[in-house]
Structures are given as structure tokens and as C-alpha cells.
Structure 1
């Protein structure tokens, strides 16, 4: 009905204002424009071409690579035993320190005054001790000759004991004051490298506050974040080969020294520390590394790394439904990965089809055209 009205209107207009021959030419064009909206609604997007791979089990005895970092085996934060104002810090991050080296100082004026007071108290106590000792010796001789009483002798003896105790107390206080003066200097207890600083000169610091952090030079650890599936497949006491990311020629070997008892809440991986055996000097703290290890023999699903994507912060892949040739996004659990391959421990079944190229342009339910299914 709408098309008939439009045709009639065009005929009337053309009959009044245009020659008949021109109206005949315009009529098909107007009719085509009237129906173009309906045709556009019926046009569907063509299937998107993608490359895929068929899921199958493969041997997992091949070496698995993980990225990690170099950390000190033992790292300690050094701080003063007393509070005070920091007047000097002689080291910075990256400096090498030796045992007994002074690395920071507090203002020692209050402690020096306390030391002087303790020394004076000890001198006074020694004077009182000498006086009490002389009095006791005189009373002892008088008592032997019968020229004094036992009560006076006992008083002299008691005064001598009190004076001796005062000297002992003053000596202990003097030692404590000397220790307090010594505590105003912070010394390195072992050789190492400064990795962090916690206070600047002029600040008032508290007892135990970290002033510098030192990585002790008694070992290096390679630290990796390892998935639980790979941990289960590791052989007992595996030998791990470590290479520097910026220089693959620099290598070292080590053994697993520590496995964290709890997984990281964000990545669900377990930090593993590998103690390196005589690492070369080129393997420095904080260096990026790649470690490789051969897991126990078994079977797993290997996919090209290009198939991996993410959904809600978790790894996922696009799976093709053979019946409808549409795709859906599915979460998977990754056991290990490297730049070329992903080892999947859960989430896929043998025989399923996974998209390996074109994953960035897909959306759930989209129809695809398979360019090639690798058996």
C-alpha cells in the first residue's frame, strides 16, 4: 500500500512538472529507494574466517619454561636499637658494605651526657667504698683489742657491703651508658649490597625502624611463580636451568629450595625459590631470567600461545561448536606457558576445536568460517 501511494505521488508530480519520458526514468529509481531499508535489514554479516586447532593430548616430558627474577637468599633490614635523630647515612642503594662498616649515625649528645653522669656516679661510689672499707678495718682492729662494741662493728660492716653494692650498680649503669653511645652507630653485620633505604638524615627515627636493607652476599635465589599443575608434575629435587633474559649465554643451575605453602590470591600460582649453585657475577639482583625444567612424563593439552585470551582476569580460549559453527569463550587453567606454547591442565576436552588466529575480533555466538583445522 505504501509503495502504491509513493508511485502514484511520483506519477502526479511528474505529470505536472516533468516530461513524460523523464518520469519514466525516475520511477524505477524511486521504487528502489523505497525498498532499500527493508533489504538492508535482511543482510547478515558474513562468517568471520579463523584458523583453528583440534585439541589432543601430547607428551609433557618436554622442558617447560617460566619467567622469574633474581633475589637475595637472605635479606635483612637494619635499624638502630634506640630512637634518635639521624645525622648521617653513608650508604645508598647499590653500595657494597663490609662487616663492621658504619652505615648510619644518630645524634649522640644525650647518650654522651648519660655516659658522663654514669662515670661520675661510679667515681662517687668508689669514694664511698674506700671510706666504708677504712672504717670497717678500724672497727675490726678495735673490736679485736676490746676497744669497741659489736654493734658499732656490725654497722661498719653493713656500710661496707652497701658501698660495694653501690659500686656494682654504678658499674652496670656505666656499661649500659657506653652501650647506648655505641648504639648511636649502625654497623653492617655481614657483607652485602644495599637494596633499599628507609630514612634520610635529619629525620627522627624510632628504635627498630628500617634504615637500610641489605641483601647478604651468601647466595642468590631464582624466584618463579609456578602453577599448581606444574608443581604436581615436577620430579623430586628437580634440576633447574636459569638463563638471563638479556643474555642467554649467561646460565646457572640450581635446586628447588622453598615452595610457598599458600598460592598468590591474584594469580593462583605458588612462589618457588630455586637456590642457584655458584651463580656467575653477571646474574645480579633483580635481573629478569627464564628457568627451564623437565616435568615428569605424562600427557597434557598443548595449544599455540596465540589462542590464549582473557575473560574477567582469567585465561580463556574461543571454542567452536561444529554443529552451528559459532564460537563461545571458555575459561581454562594454564599449567605452564612460554612465548610459543600454552600447556592447559583443565577446561578443554580432546577433540574440541579451538581458535588459534583471529581471537581479538570475535564475540560470543559469532558464526565463523574455518580456514583450517589442524588434526
Structure 2
């Protein structure tokens, strides 16, 4: 009996001791961090094609006249501004041609002054009946021919002046020099590509589509893009352009994929993968570590953006993949799901959402 009383009294004394240590004040439960992710398109039901981030506009820059390259002013990878000089041709020939045309303009102006004076003199003599009408008409024709000749040589001078300016190749837009195809001392023809410029602005992913499955793809088709620098995030995109002819060596069709969002952090030359659905709608997927089950019913923990509290969300899943599981029903792409430590969570618990690098996440739906 004494032992029973002691066993009852001992827990009571411990409770009293703990209450005394706390001075009667309730201890506030600390908000624990929770790694969260947003559902992504399931890779198990999609084909992946490697690609490279390119500029949407890639003009090939060339001289408008032929000649010998005298200077190369930029290198590959260098950022340039619009109208910045990139290369120069040997200007000697175009300068000589310009001087020759300038001399022809001076000769035509002198000739016009002579025939104008002759016409005025014959006009006065005709009024006094000292010359025939045919003689006056002849001087009139010479004057008109002199005017036409001056217009012609002035136009030719303007062409020669423009060609002198064409000896300097300038950037057509702001951007980055992507390729260089000539060296100093090389003789180039008019229109021969010298530089390829990756213009600032929109970025795209260049991929190659297989010949045997080409009919499955179409312009405007929705895809998902994953950058190698951000492997845990996929960006929505669409096929913007498809080549009508296959490459003669690889027998693949080039296609360009545009990002749907304008602020996608894609840089020139980055490697990427483009995921294209087989057929129909592709379900969302979450990491395997985000999934729990109770009495055979799978569920995930979803964070409420209003107060960062947890809510249990029942889901219907598909076949398990290596790292993810497709969610057929129960989730939206804008939901934030706890991806780790789900076995110690409870309904209504408040958490501090963080990403894989332990950075605080601002809960917001994807655009």
C-alpha cells in the first residue's frame, strides 16, 4: 500500500516541480523549419531532349562589300552595343574609288556651267534672230544632258561614299558575339558571314527531335524546360519553331522552345532538358519523401500560405518513379508541399518554409 501511494505521489511531485521551475508560465512552442517544394510535371510520362540556351534573334553579320580584313575589334563572348565597330576592311580601294567619283562630280559641275552659259547666249541670239531655232535647240539639249550627267555622278558618288562606310562592320543590336568566322588578313566576299550576334532579349532552347517521332510534335505544343543549373525546377515553355527538313548528318529536326515566362533565369550557352508529354495531360509529381499514408490512403502535407500552417491533403497517386511519384488527383501546381520529415508533422502545425538551401521561401503561387 505504501508502494502504491509512493508511485502516485512521485509523478505528482514531478509535475509540481516542473510547474515550479516554469514559474507557472506556459512555454511557447518553437516554429520548426520545413523544406517545401511545388509539384512538377511528372518526368515518367514525358520524353526528355537535351538542348542549349540560345538567343531568339541571332543575326549573321557580314560586310556589304568584299575586301581584305584589316582589323578585328571584338572577340567571341564579348558584349557589344548597337552600331559598335566589330571589324574593318582595308579602306584603300574604296577611298580611291570615292576620290575618283568626287573628281567626276567636279567635272560634271564644270561642264554644266559651260553648257548653261552657252544656252543663255544662244537664247539671246535667238531673240535677235541671229541664230536658227535648231542651233538653240542643240544648246538646250546639251544643257539638259549636262544636268542629267551631274545627277548621275552625284548618285554614283553617294554610292561610293556609302561603300566607304561599309568597310566598317557594325553591330546591328545590343548583344553578345556568339561566333567568329574570319581572321585578320583574310579576303572576304560581300555577304560572307563574319560574326554571329546573340541579340539581347528573349532566350530559347535549341533541341533536336528524332525523325521517327517527328509527327508527334507541333508548333505551340506545351513543354517543360529544366536548366542544368537549377535541376529541381522546371519552367513552362512551348515549341515556337520546327525545321521543315532534317539535318543531313544527324537525321534530326531542329526545334526552338520558347519560355512562357519572360523572367526565366536562362543564360546563353547553358545546358537544358526539354520534357515533352507522350500523349494527353501529364500529371504533377512530388518527391517520394513527401508522401505518407494512413490506413492505405496516401496523403501529403500542404502549407497554407495564409498562416504557414499544415493541412493534410489526400491524393491519388500513380506508379512510383526513381525519385518522384505522380499525383493524379488532389494537388495543384501552385501548392507548396513539405518534402522531408513528414513523419513528425501534425495537422495545423505552423512551420517556417525553407528551400533545399535552407533559405526562407515566400509562399506564392507560380504564375
Partner of 1:159: 142
Q: Is the radius of gyration larger for structure 1 or structure 2?
A: 1
CA RMSD of aligned residues (A): 3.1
Contact 1:235–1:295 (CA under 8 A) maintained in structure 2:
no
TM-fit CA distance, 1:258: 2.1
Deviations 1:209-241 (A, max 9, x none): 221111223422222333467655669843222
Distance 2:219 2:73 in 1: 46
Distance 1:85 1:339, change over 3 A: farther
Is 1:295 the counterpart of 2:274? The answer is: no
Distance 1:153 1:212, change over 3 A: same
Partner of 1:105: 88
Deviations 1:3-33 (A, max 9, x none): xxxxxxxxxxxxxxxxxxxxxxxxxxxxxxx
Distance 2:214 2:275 in 1: 13
Partner of 2:191: 208
Distance 2:44 2:322 in 1: 18
Contact 2:219–2:239 (CA under 8 A) maintained in structure 1:
no
Stretches of 4+ aligned residues off by more than 6 angstroms = 338-341
Distance 2:177 2:245 in 1: 29
The SS at the match of 1:74 is coil
Matches within 5 A, 1:274-285: 274-278=257-261, 280=263, 282-285=265-268
TM-score, structure 2 length as denominator?
0.59
The SS at the match of 1:211 is strand
Distance 1:265 1:115 in 2: 46
TM-score, structure 1 length as denominator?
0.57
Partner of 2:170: 187
The SS at the match of 2:115 is helix
Partner of 1:243: 226
Is 1:286 the counterpart of 2:269? The answer is: yes
Distance 1:339 1:210, change over 3 A: farther
Distance 1:265 1:153, change over 3 A: closer
Partner of 1:93: 76
TM-fit CA distance, 1:60: 10
Gaps of 5+ in 2: 1-41, 282-320, 325-367
Matches within 5 A, 1:48-87: 62-87=45-70
Matches within 5 A, 1:274-353: 274-278=257-261, 280=263, 282-297=265-280
